[in-house]
Amino acid sequence: MTYRAPVDDILFNLMAVAPGPSSPDIPTETCTDWRAILEQAAVLVEETIAPLNRPSDVAGSVFENGVVRTPPGWREAYATWAEAGWNGVSLPESHGGAGLPIAIGTATMEMLTSACMALSTLPVLTQCAVPALLAHAEPALADTYLAKLIDGSWTATMNLTEPQAGSDLGLLRTRAEPAGDGTYRLYGQKTFITFGEHDLAENIIHLVLARLPGAPAGTKGISFFVVPKFLVNADGRPGPRNDLRCAGIEHKLGIRASPTCTMIYGDDRGATGWLVGEPHRGLHYMFTMMNGARLATGLQGVAIAERAFQQALAYAGERRQGRAAGYSGAAPIIAHPDVRRMLGRMKGLTAANRAIAYFTAAAIDDARSADDDAVRRRGKRFADLLTPIFKAFSTENGVEVASIGIQVHGGMGYIEETGAAQHWRDARVPPIYEGTNGIQAIDLVTRKVLPDGGAGIQALIEECRGVLASVDTLPADFCGALKPVAAVASTALDDLGTATQWLTARRPAGDDQLYAASPYLRLAAIALGASLLTKGAVAAARAANGGTPPGMAAADPKARVGLAAVFADEFGVETPGLLRKIAAPVPTPELRFAALEVESA
Ligand SMILES: Cc1cc2nc3c(=O)[nH]c(=O)nc-3n(C[C@H](O)[C@H](O)[C@H](O)COP(=O)(O)OP(=O)(O)OC[C@H]3O[C@@H](n4cnc5c(N)ncnc54)[C@H](O)[C@@H]3O)c2cc1C
């Protein structure tokens, strides 16, 4: 099954769903430019990259004698992507990027990721490394690498994880010793390093967390280093090999062609590295990279869901089984209400994922570059809140959508040849990496909600209430159809407000809040998803009445109302149950442990 990039739907989200209430209108010419960019990217990913998805999963990346060989076709595909400048869509013009909004880079990366998630994990990390170097490295150090990373001829990695240090980076042991000439020598082992070694670029720039001698224990003693595979000569070209190597790659459930490497630093003389910024501030600097990577990981949930949905929809139109009204002989399975229910769940989750993705990306853009102070402040506040919500909800949904995709295929879904199983296998890792979804929920509660007493979430709730109120301004037929949807979304917002009060009344956070963190994140995401899909339906209804503005080609109002209604029915109605889990859980803390004892008692 081929992949068709949903350019119209992405543009619709960019134009109608993503902007905040005070954001300036997006001019017609800008929209036309965005469409042209997305259509070009769509041609590349549909024709060149999507066909590689299945064969590269079969071939995998191969580790032999210290080198990693990526699957056939990847060198050409990556070169085409990089040479056309797609790596630098949202990266700064000062170093060769196109300087477009993050939301546009997000759109091009969504398409690449749907086309081949395994390959997309290479440019993702490179794109996320650039803002970290720009923000925290001395200009002379950053300038050595930035242009090459942005044009994609060099790539970057993120080296956090060690065998004993995963979620708890305070346990990391890799050490860095001053060499006396301004550089450092690094010694240690990093595991699970995505594209730590490969054959697609001239040089690999490792961003490594390590400890200086005498550093405080825990996360306050971590520093950030740039450690290139090849040391860079004075002329800017790759020179001698650094003392680092890949010791092997993992055999994984999914994204099999994305090499996940064990990296050894300093077998011999020590790997030469350069300190970024100040000592012991490394984790803080790394968060600049990780926040970008969390948006990108959430986007993997959108991308996989889209591809799995497209494939399931096509199969449901072809596969004939059973009788249905209007068909002589066996009917296509899409005629059966239960199959449409499954497809509706897939579509609803995919649409909510995408709406939250572009709403989050637009908030990041506002935080970075809005002219108006108030818009910038709103952007920063929402970007902080939305990043963990989007990462966890979207990636969880990616797994669910891909799993339903298998179900729609019946037995053929369980057979690798159809590709449905690959989507599910690929979808399974985003909930784990870039901070597990459990860690995202804890981040949301303890770092984003409790510190401001829930004021940020309250502002988000108020903005969503404004969206729901706009339903009343629509012509009677649309208003009538959307009212029940708005009622479900309104209850979800009430439940989110009550859950937030419950959390913030109990500070500092104890076990009860940590137990409630994941249901709270889901409650927030469902309330937001229901509101944003309503926002889309309202915009589509208005466009239908006032002509179709540019960028709104996908503004079919009946379809948008249907999407919001299906999401409200399938997911919006969960929120009273989630609120009960949070604020009035049945098991006491003792019973939660006791429940685990049944088998072993
Ligand atoms: C394919 C792949 C690619 C990766 N790429 C990279 C990469 O490029 N760079 C890199 O540095 N790392 C990478 N990782 C590592 C990844 O980021 C870690 O696997 C992840 O952070 C989780 O760490 P862990 O595996 O040690 O799990 P653990 O930290 O051992 O967690 C196990 C379970 O315990 C839970 N848990 C742990 N601590 C807490 C807590 N305090 N409260 C509540 N629950 C908790 C977790 O949520 C999880 O469910 C990659 C991993 C994979 C699988």
pLDDT tens for 122-173 read 999 999 999 999 999 999 999 999 999 999 999 999 999 999 999 999 999 9
- In tens, the pLDDT along 325-348 reads 999 999 999 999 999 999 999 999
Q: What pLDDT, on a 0 to 100 scale, did the predictor assign at position 546?
A: 75
**Measured from the CB, is residue 293 less than 6 Å from ligand 1?**
no
- Tell whether the model's pLDDT for residue 460 goes beyond 70: yes
- Strand, helix or coil for residue 234: coil
- Tell whether the model's pLDDT for residue 28 goes beyond 90: no
In this structure, is the dihedral angle defined by the CA atoms of residues 291, 370, 140 and 202, taken in order, positive or negative? positive
- Tell whether the model's pLDDT for residue 601 goes beyond 60: no
Report the C-alpha gap between 470 and 275 in whole angstroms: 52
| Alpha carbon nearest to ligand 1 atom 35, residue | 438
Helices (H), 444-475: 455-469
- Tell whether the model's pLDDT for residue 1 goes beyond 60: no
Residue 532 · residue 17 · CB < 8 Å: yes
**Measured from the CB, is residue 127 less than 6 Å from ligand 1?**
no
- Tell whether the model's pLDDT for residue 237 goes beyond 80: yes
Q: What pLDDT, on a 0 to 100 scale, did the predictor assign at position 600?
A: 64
First to last CA, the chain: 50
**Measured from the CB, is residue 167 less than 6 Å from ligand 1?**
yes
Share of the chain above pLDDT 70, in %: 99
| Catalytic residue of the set 434, 570, 590, 599 | 434
**Measured from the CB, is residue 446 less than 6 Å from ligand 1?**
no
| Alpha carbon nearest to ligand 1 atom 30, residue | 166
- Tell whether the model's pLDDT for residue 554 goes beyond 80: no
- In tens, the pLDDT along 244-256 reads 999 999 999 999 9
- In tens, the pLDDT along 160-207 reads 999 999 999 999 999 999 999 999 999 999 999 999 999 999 999 999
Helices (H), 505-588: 511-545, 557-570, 575-583
Residue 449 · residue 500 · CB < 8 Å: yes
Parallel/antiparallel/unpaired status of strands 260-265 and 244-249: antiparallel
In this structure, is the dihedral angle defined by the CA atoms of residues 439, 440, 445 and 450, taken in order, positive or negative? positive
Mapped to the 3 state alphabet, what secondary structure does 484-505 carry?
HHHHHHHHHHHHHHHHHHHHHC
Which DSSP string corresponds to 267-320?
A: SSS-EEEEEESSTT-HHHHHHHHHHHHHHHHHHHHHHHHHHHHHHHHHHHHH-B
Residue 124 · residue 71 · CB < 8 Å: no
Kindly indicate the confidence band of residue 35, based on its pLDDT and cuts at 50, 70 and 90.
Answer: very high
Distance 14 CA to ligand 1 centre (A): 32
Kindly indicate the confidence band of residue 360, based on its pLDDT and cuts at 50, 70 and 90.
Answer: very high
Please give the model's pTM, rounded to 2 decimal places: 0.97
Kindly indicate the confidence band of residue 33, based on its pLDDT and cuts at 50, 70 and 90.
Answer: very high
| Alpha carbon nearest to ligand 1 atom 11, residue | 160
Ligand 1 atom nearest residue 434's Cα: 17
Residue 130 · residue 323 · CB < 8 Å: no
Catalytic status, residue 177 = no
Burial class (CB in 10 A: 0-12, 13-18, 19+), 337: exposed
| Alpha carbon nearest to ligand 1 atom 13, residue | 192
Ligand 1 atom nearest residue 165's Cα: 26
- Tell whether the model's pLDDT for residue 547 goes beyond 70: no
Distance 494 CA to ligand 1 centre (A): 33
- In tens, the pLDDT along 391-443 reads 999 999 999 999 999 999 999 999 999 999 999 999 999 999 999 999 999 99
**Measured from the CB, is residue 166 less than 6 Å from ligand 1?**
yes
